[in-house]
Structure 1
Amino acid sequence: MATGYVKSELVTVFGGSGFVGRHVVRALARRGYRVRAAARRPDLAGFLQPLGAVGQIHAVQANIRNRESVDRAVAGSDAVVNLVGVLYETGRQSFDAVQAFGPGAIAASAAAAGITRFVQVSAIGADPDSDSKYATTKAAGEKAVLKACPGAVIYRPSIIFGPEDDFFNRFGSMARFSPVLPLIGGGETRFQPVFVGDVAEAIALAVDGKARPGTIYELGGPEVRTFRQLMEYILAVTGRKRLLVPISFGMARLKAQVLQLAPKPLLTVDQVRQLGRDNVVSEEAVRDHRTIEDLGIDPRAIESIVPTYIDRYRKAGQFTTPDPTAPRP
């Protein structure tokens, strides 16, 4: 709910109607900012308006490949946030277009408009030397943003969880039908899941001017868990008994070559490459005070949030009591 007081300051949020975007819009509205949610389909973003006061939140059309539409979305803004990204490529929504070219175009538009407060959401693992195209284009996007807006704040989160996430929901749903869950690379890849509400708060703090300009922060939750441990946790919460089967990276790549042909693939070759590296906050970020805790946020653990939305994957929904013999979360 908004505070009731609406500031004159306007923040444009690219990707404002997405999973992270709706939480960012809410966090900004609570602070009293006017919010312009830029999306390819603003007609589908009406659900954002109740997150603020009447007239406080407005959705507009913008395509990051069209500079004119980007300029229109940015015009008159005091700050800009870019959340646009894709987990896999489909048609014109390529990694290069969305994650390399797009951020640079938005940042250049903001710079031309004299906007100095710019927040770019990237990802842990962004690396120009990675063998993953997702990771290299994320790094290219960061470079383009900092070139156009040297004072930009860049956030690299680990996997983000929340009611509409693509991780816990995907595997919770898969466990309903599949007798096995694959452990790619043996399930030893480490993650540091971070709550979407905490990421949104970090972004709002950057808009407030409370993050260090020109800095790349790494955002992770309070615990590091392996892929295997996360699968075991999902099975425990949903009360499912499923076989966890280790699959080598080579075999996973072969399977992904077929799976990635689907309109909404369960797995792609590029995602397999990403699983070859841990997805956790680096020691350098901790040492240099570039973490979510350094922003004054006490990140929430998966135990406090995830059971509230994956309970629907239990045998009889949220009213099912989990099997007492299943591993505890």
Structure 2
Amino acid sequence: MQNLVTVFGGSGFVGTQAVRFLAKAGWNVRVAVRNPNLAYKMRLLGDVGQIDVVQANIRDRASIDRALQGASASLNLAGVLRETGRQGFQAIHAMGAKTVAEAATAQGVGRVVQMSAIGADPDGPSKYARTKAEGEAAVREVRPDAVIVRPSIVFGNGDGFFNRFAAMAQVSPALPLIGGGETRFQPVFVGDVGRALARVVSDAEAAGQTYELGGPGVFTFKALMEMLLAETGQRRLLVPVPWPVARMLGSVADFGSFLLPPPVTADQVESLTVDNVVSGQYPGLRDLGVTPTTLEAILPTYLYRYRKGGQYADQDAREMEAGRA
């Protein structure tokens, strides 16, 4: 079908925004997910009949072939932050990316886009980084004209970073600063990532390019935790955790059972040993006509739920002050 894009992993945090912007750009979108019954709301992101949801497993070539039938573009967003069962880094980031690229090529799909991550490195300290790099290389070997997109940590309503630590701060007297909290990040807004992905699917000049997506500010891990606590109105100790201790805790977390999800796994600890910022060697958001959104503008729109009093916390505080006057 002309103007049809298949989006693998399209019902996730980033995928939802990518599908929204693709629909706005006039694409017909086929959202390929493992559990279509959990993604029925995706159809509401476009006009009637514009968005379809189908079953596909990134580990199953036959289902990928079916999902790509008639498509003129393919966007692979499938990825995992933590290995669970058969959903491992190698299976999803490396082999899955290769299989999608091979299937798209076999069916004559004109544009192939693979989402990777800043920090993807064949010699990286974490398995996550190494398999992301392996996936990039496999896709480019099959499709030299493929587009690779590498975002830094992605923030926004429903993210897995700020929400995780804000929830932890509600029940814990302290937050951990892994490795002392000096690792640098360049958080990028999920809406900007979705807009950028829609652009590279359509832009002929994007063929063969690698894009690094970072926001307008660079922050240390400690600065991000301080910003989170200030926004949620919570006072918590920020406790530096040396790398050896962090590695031990991450290893325990990989095998233990907890009432609260562990802050980091062993592999994520290794990821934190290197900065997560754009290198400056590749084009980014502004090259795609996207103005980066600041962290300060977005955090208040969803972290209010962790404040005492929720979205009315500021109003309540003002009223109390007025009562004392």
Is residue 306 of structure 2 the alignment partner of residue 313 of structure 1?
A: yes
- Contact in 2 for aligned 1:239/1:321 (Cα 8 Å): no
* Equivalence for 1:166: 160
Residue number among 26, 37, 41 corresponding to 1:32 in the alignment = 26
Matched residue, 2:323: none
CA drift at 1:8? 4.5
The one of 252, 266, 270 aligned to 2:267? 270
Structure 1 residue 212: Cα displacement: 2.4
> In the alignment, which residue of structure 2 is the partner of 1:282?
279
Q: CA deviation at 1:228?
A: 0.3
- Paired residues for 1:163-312 under 5 Å: 163-262=157-256, 265-285=262-282, 290-312=283-305
Deviations 1:83-127 (A, max 9, x none): 000001000001000101000000000001111211111000000
Instruction: Summarize the alignment of residues 17-166 of structure 1 with structure 2, pairs less than 5 Å apart.
Output: 17-166=11-160
Looking at structure 1, the residues matched to 205 and 242 of structure 2 have their Cα atoms a distance apart, in angstroms, of 41
- What CA distance in whole angstroms lies between the structure 1 residues aligned with 2:218 and 2:20? 28
Instruction: Please state whether the residue corresponding to 2:239 is helix, strand or coil.
Output: strand
Q: Distance in 2 between matches of 1:8 and 1:309?
A: 38
- Relative to structure 1, the CA distance from residue 249 to residue 232 in structure 2 (aligned partners, 3 Å threshold; closer, same or farther) is same
Matching residue of 2:321: none
The CA distance in 2 between the partners of 1:239 and 1:104, in whole Å, is 45
SS in structure 2 of the partner of residue 246 of structure 1: strand
SS of aligned partner of 1:137: helix
Query: Could you report, residue by residue, the CA deviation over 1:120-142 in whole angstroms, capped at 9, with x for unpaired residues?
Result: 11000000011210000000000
Describe the superposition over 1:201-250 as per-residue Cα deviations: whole angstroms up to 9, x where unpaired: 11111111255211111100000000000000000000000000101111
Q: Superposition RMSD on alpha carbons, in Å?
A: 1.5
Amino acid of the structure 2 residue aligned with 1:307: P
Question: Between the two proteins, what is the percent identity of the paired residues?
Answer: 56
Distance (whole Å) between structure 2 residues aligned to residue 65 and residue 8 of structure 1: 26
Pair 1:321–1:261, CA change in 2 (3 A): farther
> Hey, what's the Cα distance between the residues in 1 that align with 2:300 and 2:160?
15
What are the ranges of 5 or more consecutive residues in structure 2 without an aligned counterpart?
A: 319-325
SS of residue in 2 equivalent to 1:58: strand
The separation in 2 between residues aligned to 1:233 and 1:27, in whole angstroms, is: 29
Task: Specify every segment of 5 or more residues in structure 1 that has no aligned partner in the other structure, as ranges.
Answer: 1-6, 325-329
- Once the two structures are TM-superposed, the CA of residue 262 in structure 1 deviates from its matched residue by 4.7
2:35–2:55 contact (8 Å) kept in structure 1: yes
